[in-house]
Structures are given as C-alpha cells and as structure tokens.
Amino acid sequence: MANRLDDFELYRKKMNERILEIDHLGIKRFYNLDSSAYLDGALSSKTKELLGLVASMVLRCNDCIDYHILQCVSAGWKDEELYEAFNVSLVVGGSIVIPHLRHAVETLDLCRERS
C-alpha cells in the first residue's frame, strides 16, 4: 500500500531524472558533489548521513529529513540513536523544529513498517 514516503521517493526520482535531462553542467556537478559528500572518507558514510539528518532538521526541510532518515536507516543507525540526533536538532533549533520532529518520527515509523 502506497504511503507518503513512497510518494516522496517516486516524485524525487522522477524530478531528479527530469533535472538531469535539462543537462545543465553546473547543476549536474552539484548533484555529484552532493553525493560524494556522504561517501566514506576520514568520516564514515554512516556518520556523515547522521550529520546530513541534523542539518536537514535544523534547516527545517521535510523532504531533506525524509531522504536522510532513509539513508540513516540503510546505514544501520538504530531508533534510539536517531532519537538522540532528533533531540540535538530540537535543542539547537528550538520549538520551531517541533513540526519537523513530528514529521521525522512518522517517517522513521514508516521506514520500520516497510521492513
């Protein structure tokens, strides 16, 4: 059964393909740079995904939160660890982050239901 997480992934995939089709060199290079930033290096890919999640939460971007939660779950972060990252985001970003915390917790629950 489809849910908002599936819808997000389909829309994200469709529009990213459309954007690459536009064939703008700068945009394509940005996409590559963005992917590369989360690869294993001096920090592990797993750690970097958690950094991406917290950055998305304090900047209050639901789509970015969804993407990074999916990545964090794939990378092996456990719920209790992600809740800690949610808490750091909440304290840094304040109550204005609460609607995004609700979204993040729901997304994480939807992720776990999938498996």
Measure the CA–CA gap between 10 and 82, rounded to whole angstroms: 24
Residue closer to a second copy by CB (options 34, 74) is 34
CA distances from 97 to 23, 59, 114 (A): 35, 9, 26
- CB nearer a second copy, residue 15 or residue 74: 15
Nearer to a second copy, 6 or 30 (CB): 30
- Comparison of 74 and 94: residue with beta carbon closer to a second copy: 94
Nearest distance from residue 3's CB to a second copy, in Å? 14
Q: Which of 85, 84, 80 is nearest to 68 (CA)?
A: 85
CB of 110 to a second copy, least distance (A): 12
Q: How far is CA 92 from CA 33, 59, 95, in A?
A: 27, 11, 9
Residues that bind a second copy (CB under 8 A): 11-12, 15-16, 18-19, 22, 24-27, 29-30, 33-34, 36-38, 41-43, 47-48, 50-52, 54-56, 58-61, 63-64, 78, 80-81, 83-99, 101-102, 105-106, 109
Q: Up-side HSE of residue 37: CA atoms within 13 Å toward CB?
A: 11
